[in-house]
């Protein structure tokens, strides 16, 4: 009987060990803390976690300085590659069904930012603004996606009233504003003659589609000329004339 009890105890200990092991196995090893903010989850390496917290803090701080305080809820996932999906902020996949890769993507319904890891070969082949991929460039792309997440959250159900090109213009403007000064200088130097948009009517899908890098620089100068966050607040308040054709239902 004693032997039996001992056996039972061993069995219980073993069951407990299995349960603990299962719990460890099902918890993603890379799931770390959340920058000290309740709504933020980051799934990545320790370095990626640090970069993401730095980016989140800077962008939230920039909005707060501009009078837009937000309790951001977003999950940031670092992945080997990112394929754009429907229901995100970017255009849907092209008709041929080939997945379109992106360095970063905000999935509206999931409230998730998917970021291509800096170690990805694909990321290094991409040259936004014709500049080599580095940590500062990757950080700035992450900030761009965080701006999308904040603007979607601020707009709530109204997010569709802001045309897609406007979502991009604002994300690019704040991305460039919050760049490391040296990187910003190098980006702006690629388009020395690019000025602010002469009319906000130029903030549309066609101008964006022709040359997103140039569109981004013009969006930045428009943002600066318009008083930075004052400009952004007017845009997300839908407080000036915009073309309706960009967001007519298909
Ligand atoms: Zn974007």
The tens digit of pLDDT for each residue in 104-124 reads 999 999 999 999 998 888 888
Distance 126 CA to ligand 1 centre (A): 16
Residue 123 has a pLDDT of 81
Distance 83 CA to ligand 1 centre (A): 14
Residue 139 has a pLDDT of 94
Residue 126 has a pLDDT of 83
15 domain-assigned: no
30 domain-assigned: no
* Whole-Å CA distances, 178 to 15, 44, 46, 111: 52, 22, 23, 22
Distance 177 CA to ligand 1 centre (A): 15
57 domain-assigned: yes
Distance 214 CA to ligand 1 centre (A): 14
Q: Is the pLDDT of residue 83 over 60?
A: yes
| DSSP state letter for 219 | H
65 or 239, higher pLDDT? 65
> Which two three-digit tokens encode residue 11?
């069995």
Residue 249 has a pLDDT of 42
Look at residues 246, 194, 185 and name the one whose alpha carbon lies nearest to residue 221. 194
What mean pLDDT is predicted for residues 39-46?
Answer: 95
191 domain-assigned: yes
4 domain-assigned: no
- 217-232 exposure pattern, b = at least 16 Cβ within 10 A, e = fewer: bbbbbbbeebebbebb
Q: What is the CA radius of gyration of the chain?
A: 22
14 or 39, higher pLDDT? 39
Q: Is the pLDDT of residue 143 over 70?
A: yes
20 domain-assigned: no
Please return the burial class of 247, using the count of CB atoms within 10 Å of its CB with bins 0-12, 13-18 and 19+.
middle
Asked if 233 and 66 count as a contact pair (C-beta separation under 8 A), the reply is yes
Asked if 142 and 115 count as a contact pair (C-beta separation under 8 A), the reply is yes
- The tens digit of pLDDT for each residue in 161-170 reads 999 999 999 9
State the alpha helices, DSSP H only, in 156-246.
164-177, 181-189, 205-210, 212-225, 229-236
Distance 14 CA to ligand 1 centre (A): 51
1 domain-assigned: no
Domain holding 44, by residue range, is 40-247
Q: Is the pLDDT of residue 225 over 80?
A: yes
Distance CA 219, CA 208 (A): 10
Domain count, the chain: 1
91 domain-assigned: yes
* Whole-Å CA distances, 213 to 62, 122, 190: 22, 18, 9
> Which two three-digit tokens encode residue 115?
């970021």
Neighbours of ion ligand 1 (CB under 5 A): 168, 171
Distance 2 CA to ligand 1 centre (A): 68
- The tens digit of pLDDT for each residue in 99-108 reads 788 899 999 9
Q: Is the pTM of this model over 0.85?
A: no
């Amino acid at each position: 009987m004693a032997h039996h009890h001992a056996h039972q105890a061993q069995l219980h200990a073993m069951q407990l060990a299995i349960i603990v092991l299962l719990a460890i196995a099902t918890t993603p090893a890379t799931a770390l803390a959340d920058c000290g903010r309740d709504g933020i989850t980051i799934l990545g390496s320790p370095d990626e976690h640090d970069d993401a917290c730095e980016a989140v803090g800077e962008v939230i701080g920039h909005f707060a300085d501009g009078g837009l305080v937000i309790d951001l809820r977003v999950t940031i996932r670092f992945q080997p590659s990112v394929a754009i999906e429907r229901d995100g902020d970017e255009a849907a996949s092209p008709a041929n069904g080939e997945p379109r890769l992106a360095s970063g993507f905000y999935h509206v319904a999931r409230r998730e930012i998917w970021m291509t890891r800096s170690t990805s070969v694909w990321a290094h082949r991409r040259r936004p603004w014709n500049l080599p991929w580095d940590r500062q460039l990757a950080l700035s792309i992450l900030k761009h996606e965080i701006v999308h997440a904040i603007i979607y959250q601020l707009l709530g159900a109204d997010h569709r009233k802001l045309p897609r090109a406007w979502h991009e213009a604002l994300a690019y403007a704040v991305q460039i504003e919050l760049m490391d000064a040296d990187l910003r200088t190098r980006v702006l130097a690629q388009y020395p003659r690019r000025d602010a948009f002469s009319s906000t009517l130029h903030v549309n899908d066609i101008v964006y589609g022709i040359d997103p890098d140039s569109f981004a620089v013009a969006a930045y100068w428009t943002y600066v000329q318009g008083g930075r966050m004052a400009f952004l607040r007017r845009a997300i308040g839908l407080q000036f004339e915009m073309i309706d054709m960009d967001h007519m239902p298909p």
